[in-house]
Amino acid sequence: MKDLIQPSTPVDGQLQVAQVQAVAETWSPQHVLSWALQTFGKQVAISSAFGAEGMVLIDMASRISKDFRLFTIDTEFLFAETYNLMDRIEQKYGITIERVYSTLSPEEQQRVHGEALWSSNPDLCCNLRKVEPLRRKLGELSAWITSIRRDQTSVRSSAKRIEWDAKFGLVKVNPIVDWTSKQVWRYIHDHDVPYNALHDQDYPSIGCTHCTRAVRPGEDPRAGRWPGFNKTECGLHIIEPLPASSQVQAATAEGGD
């Protein structure tokens, strides 16, 4: 299949999304990744917290390019198993993970906002330790690649393979957005991909130590995230509506495909 956008085309995020969005829905994850890496070069990076889905993307990207960018938001509250996996990724794939931190250390956060902010106000804690650092990192980029899947949460159910991220103002690429958990694990086993040891201890979704527990039989896979709170997202993947002009562009492109 011929890509609608050639790699040498200057980046014009919203217009590129409008031109490519509909046709990209038929692309394989590898095709989506290749398109993103060729189109944006060093201006695109994979964002990962190293869950099973993220590991699939990292492995796929390593088979396309030896020189792709990978970053993580290190809240400084991650599990030892996650830090161990980060070391294994750097060794296996020969890359350096770009680690992004909050401007507040855990000690400073406690001093300013009180003890255990994750218990009293998890939205503020996530904003300080995840959303603000992510916003800072995305300010360097023209596009980011995520491993979200539509069936993970209601917020993610309408995500496209390639979309304009109005919240952060750049192109968002979701290569495995239509995959199931079963497909993810089949890829991991077929390609001998490393994964977080906690997945074998009933942690299907892994975040900070303070806000993640193992799930019990029959529970939703994300039931172990923010237990006790009506919260399923840290705010990184909340989709905000496109400006009216972009919606017209997108509708025009889809109608003319």
State the catalytic residues: 234
Give, in degrees to the nearest 5, the angle at Cα 55 between 192 and 98: 130
The correct pick among 176, 211, 236, 242 for binding ligand SF4 (CB under 6 A) is 211
Nearer of residues 70 and 126 to ligand SF4, judged by Cβ: 126
Site membership for ligand SF4, residue 78 (CB under 6 A):
no
CB 136 within 8 A of CB 164: no
Site membership for ligand SF4, residue 210 (CB under 6 A):
yes
Q: What residues between 82 and 111 interact with ligand SF4 by CB under 6 A?
A: none
The torsion angles phi and psi of 227, rounded to 5 degrees, stand at -60, 135
Q: How far is the CB of 112 from ligand SF4 (least distance, A)?
A: 14
Helix, strand, coil % in the chain, rounded to nearest 5: 45, 10, 45
Report the alpha-carbon distance of residue 82 to residue 197 in Å, rounded: 8
H/E element, 255: helix 244-255
- The 169-208 site mask, x for binding ligand SF4 (CB under 6 A), equals --------------------------------------xx
CB 85 within 8 A of CB 195: yes
Q: How far is the CB of 52 from ligand SF4 (least distance, A)?
A: 18
Q: Which region among 18-26, 121-129, 141-149, 162-170 touches ligand SF4 (by CB under 6 A)?
A: 121-129
The correct pick among 27, 118, 164, 179 for binding ligand SF4 (CB under 6 A) is 118
Q: How far is the CB of 229 from ligand SF4 (least distance, A)?
A: 9
Q: Where are the beta strands (DSSP E) in the chain?
A: 44-47, 70-73, 98-100, 143-145, 162-165, 170-173
Q: How far is the CB of 109 from ligand SF4 (least distance, A)?
A: 9
CB 172 within 8 A of CB 163: yes
Q: Which amino acid is at 257?
A: D
| Contacts with ligand SF4, residue ranges (CB under 6 A) | 75, 77, 118, 122, 125-126, 129-130, 207-208, 210-211, 234
